[in-house]
Structure formats: C-alpha cells, structure tokens
Amino acid sequence: MSILLLEPPRLPHPYRFEDVVNAPLSACLLTGYISSVLHKNEIEAEIINAHLYDWSIEETITHLSRKSFLLLCVHIVYLWEKTQDIFDMLSALKTMNLTVHLNLYGYYPTFAYGKILTDFPFIDSVTVGEPEFTSLDLARHILSEKNKGFLDEMNIPGLAFRDTNGRIVFNPRPPIQNLDQLPSPDRQDIDLYKKKGIVTYIQGSRGCYGHCTFCYLNPFYGQVNLWRGRSAKNIFDEILKLRTEHSIGNFYFSDANFFGPGKPGKERAVTLAELILSHDLNIRFGFECRANDIEEYSLSRLVMAGLTNVFLGLESGDTASLKRFKKHISVDENKKAIQLLRDYGIEPTFGLIMFEFNSTMESVRNNFVFLQEMGIMTTPAVTAHLLHHRQTIFAGTPDYQSMIREPTCTDTSFTNYELFYKIKDPKVEAFSEIISNVCRAALSLLPKTFTCETNASDSCIESNLLSTLNNTLITLFAKTLTDFEANKNLENPDFLRDTSRKLVHEVETVFG
C-alpha cells in the first residue's frame, strides 16, 4: 500500500475537558472523505485509525514500521500539552522511513502550518483547509514516476511546503462548491464503530452563516462560501444505504450548523424529514444548530422523522457577552429555543462559555441565573462542565487576532496555536480559578465512582450521590459568587488558596 491515512492516538490530558471546542465534529469524517476521493480516482489508500483501535504511540509506531508506503497523511488534532508527543512519534516514523513524504491535515495544522514547517523539518507538507482534492493532487504527485516524490517547482493549491530554498510556499484552494459531487466517506471500520457503540456520523453541510468571534470554522474553509449544504436527496441516499446495508439506525450530523440560512435552510431540512418519513426508515438522529434556527414547523417534521438529540450553541445567558461574541442572538431567543425543543420532547445539550477574557462579575451572575432559570444544571457532569467552562482561543479565530497584542495574552502554545490569557477583571480571574479546581475535582470523581456493575439498590444509592454532588456544586458556586461580589477577602492570596482547597474537599467528601 503506497498511501496511508493515519488517525493518531489521542492522548488524554487530566486537566483539559474542552474537547468539543478543540476537535469540531466537522473534522471527524475528513479521513474518510480523503480515502473515498482517492479510491474514486483509482488510487489505493489505507486508513489506520490508531485512535479507534486504542493503540498507544508505541503500538502505532510498531504497526506502521511493518508497512511500506510512499505517502503518510496524518490527521493532527491539537492535544494541548500532549501535542509534542505526536510530533515525536512522527519524527520516529520519519527516521525509520526517510523516503516517505509526511503530510499533515486538519484544523490544527491549517492554522499552525507556518510554525510547524519551521520547527519540524521532518514534516514535508501541510494541507491547509479542505483536504480532499489537495490530498488527491499530492498523491498523484508523489506516485508519479516523473516527480519521484519531490516537491520541486510543485504548485498544488491548498498545500503548504518548503521550496528548495527553504521558504514556505502556499497557494490557497477554493472550497468545494458542490458537496453532492463528493463520494460518501470511506467507512472501512464501520463494524468496529458499531461494536463500540459509536454513533454513525453524517456530514450534511460545511461552514456556518454566523460570524462568531470564538469560532475558526469559516476561516478553515477560506471564508468564501460561509455555508454549503448537500441536497436533501443526496444526504438521504447515504443514510438509506447505511440503513439497508449495515442496519444502522442511529445517526448524528457532524455539521457545525445543520440548518442553512433563512427560509431555504428550513425547507431543505423539511425535505430531508419528508424523505425519511416517506421511506419509513425508523431511524434516530441528532444535530447541532443555532438557537435562532429552532422554529416549530421544521422541528415538528424532523421530530416525526426521528430527531431525538439537539446540541444548541447558546454561548451565554448574558446580553453583553453575546454582543461581544457577535452571536446575533438574544438571551430570549436562547430561552425560546430551549422551551420549544422541550415541548417536542427533546432535552438539548448546550454550549455555554461561562468565562471569557472580558467577563465581569455581572456576566458570570447572568450566566448562572440563566442556567438556573432554564433548569439546565441537572447532573454533575453537565453542571461541572458548564460552571467552569472557559473560552479557549485558537489561531484562526477573530478573538485570537484581536487579543494577541493584549498584555495579559502573551503566552501561547509551542506552535503558536492556542492563546493563553488572564481574564481582564482580576476578581473574575480569581473566581474562575477556584471554580475550575472545584469542577475538575467533581469531574475526576465520576468515572472512578460509577464504573462497576450495579443492582437496583446500588443504582438508587448512586442516583442519590449524583444528586447530592450536583446540588453541592450549585450551592458552592452560588455562595462563592456571592462572596466575590461582596469583595470578601479578595486581596488575600492565602484566603483564595484555602478557599479552593476547602471547596474541593467539600466536593470530595460527598463520596466519603
């Protein structure tokens, strides 16, 4: 096999829980789409999904060392402080096979390609943005007898690389205009996904018509067409094939925004629902969307077709924060969307940023009141995530560009991809640190406490413990917030440290 597509291991980090903002769902089918495009053009390629196979770095190196290949394309996901370990793995692989062309693709390398190519000479090229046809052109180039694998004088749109003088060369590639022309993604490991109970992802669109300052989705695609959707019939045909050939009945759309803009977006969603209903597929599915896209008619048809799960990007219950994020949604619209979903039997999951660079005690209070009023904090896992969630700022986002010059935002990750910052208001920063410690302590307890098989009696005990932990988190947050609003002992570092330890201890004692 001359071409390998690698999904590397994803090393867990004990203090990082914000995976949803790091590896967007829209990235989950990138490798499958590259593979299907290569196969459609009669180029053999093999997917090696070390992450799915639960391989360690050492196991991945061992497996790849037994294979012969000319091109290794690697989907890189930012792994926080563990990212260096993946580059070390790739360096070892390059050492074992000096003639292989090593290419990276994905969201992270798209926005860090300059730094990556500068700091890691063993990386030969980086695909910037949509990878399918850039990867196809690269594969053709590498496999060509004329080129013999070298990039001299090559000019592949969408590919960043070093020329013979060591200068980084890059020509952008326009986004794919007609997504219906793409073949369905390669699902070579579909049986393993089913065995592990992992939902089957469908990508119905790319991009978003929003302009949120914390999001790098549209910059990834080059900001040409902000939202591009497959036709309802094209999506339905893929679902029907998976249903009939693999007996799959549970799907989740990896789209950043399931609905297209305006009335045509709703009509497309209804058309898909009608196709599912007319063929009596009996499936379940979920998606992500903006609160302003939730309206009764399209929602009612989608629910009839099998919609059971909706992730709402609320972002905030504070009007000032929503304006800073350029969300173009009001707090009332967020509330109405939640209530309408509940009216149709769907309890949504939520994206909410409790803390960001410009947070104030007032915005934190507004967020907390919003969560209470809407009855969102129902389980400790959800509550802990929402109460401590801090905005992460990645290269490619408007916020990264606007904040890079802030005096408290000078510390960045080793590839200049993540921007670290202190909240402008020192009181909010101190409060955020305490709450993060408390919520992380709660989250660390959950997998340790509830992994064994239980009988009905045990389940009742666990339910009581979870309820107690949830109430404890809410009570501690409310009390500490009130203390900070009153400026109680704020200037005393010993008090802040002791308060953090005390609150963590209170959480831990819930389980004795």
Q: Which of 377, 380, 354 is nearest to 367 (CA)?
A: 354
Give the whole-angstrom CA distance, residue 127 versus residue 74: 10
DSSP β-ladder status, 71-75 and 3-7: parallel
CB 193 within 8 A of CB 246: no
Helix (H) or strand (E) holding 83: helix 83-96
The runs of H, that is alpha helices, within 350-425 are 361-373, 380-388, 398-403
- Residues in a beta bridge with 394: 418
pLDDT at 152: 57
Q: Are 25 and 251 in contact (CB under 8 A)?
A: no
394 and 418 Cβ atoms separated by less than 8 Å: yes
Half-sphere exposure of 362 (CA within 13 A, CB side): 5
The DSSP bridge partners found for residue 253 are 202
CB 259 within 8 A of CB 307: no
Q: Which two tokens stand for residue 179?
A: 């997504």
Name beta bridge partners: 103.
73, 125
Consecutive H or E run containing 71 = strand 71-75
DSSP string, 168-194: EEE---PPPS-GGGSPPPP-TTHHHHH
Place of tokens 């201890």: 505
Q: Which token pair is 494? A: 């010993």
Retrieve residue 461's tokens: 């005990």
pLDDT of residue 15: 67
pTM of the complete model: 0.92
Q: What one-character-per-residue DSSP string does 205-239 give? A: EEE-S---TT--HHHHHTSSSSEEE--HHHHHHHH
Sign of CA dihedral 188, 90, 2, 170: positive
pLDDT in tens, the chain (512 residues): 589 999 999 987 766 655 555 678 888 999 999 999 999 999 999 999 999 999 999 999 999 999 989 999 999 999 988 899 999 999 999 999 888 999 999 999 999 999 999 999 999 999 999 999 999 999 999 998 665 545 555 689 999 999 988 999 999 999 998 999 999 999 999 999 999 999 999 999 999 999 999 999 989 998 666 899 999 999 999 999 999 999 999 999 999 999 999 999 999 999 999 999 999 999 999 999 999 999 999 999 999 999 999 999 999 999 999 999 999 999 999 999 999 999 999 999 999 999 999 999 999 999 999 999 999 999 999 999 999 999 999 999 999 999 988 887 877 787 889 999 999 999 999 999 999 999 988 888 886 544 433 444 455 556 788 899 999 999 999 999 999 998 866 666 777 778 888 888 888 888 76
State the amino acid at position 317 in one-letter form.
G
- Residue spans of beta strands (DSSP E) within 147-265: 159-162, 168-170, 200-202, 205-207, 227-229, 250-253
Which domains are present in the chain? 3-170 (3.40.50.10550), 179-424 (3.80.30.20), 425-512 (no CATH)
pLDDT at 456 (0 to 100): 47
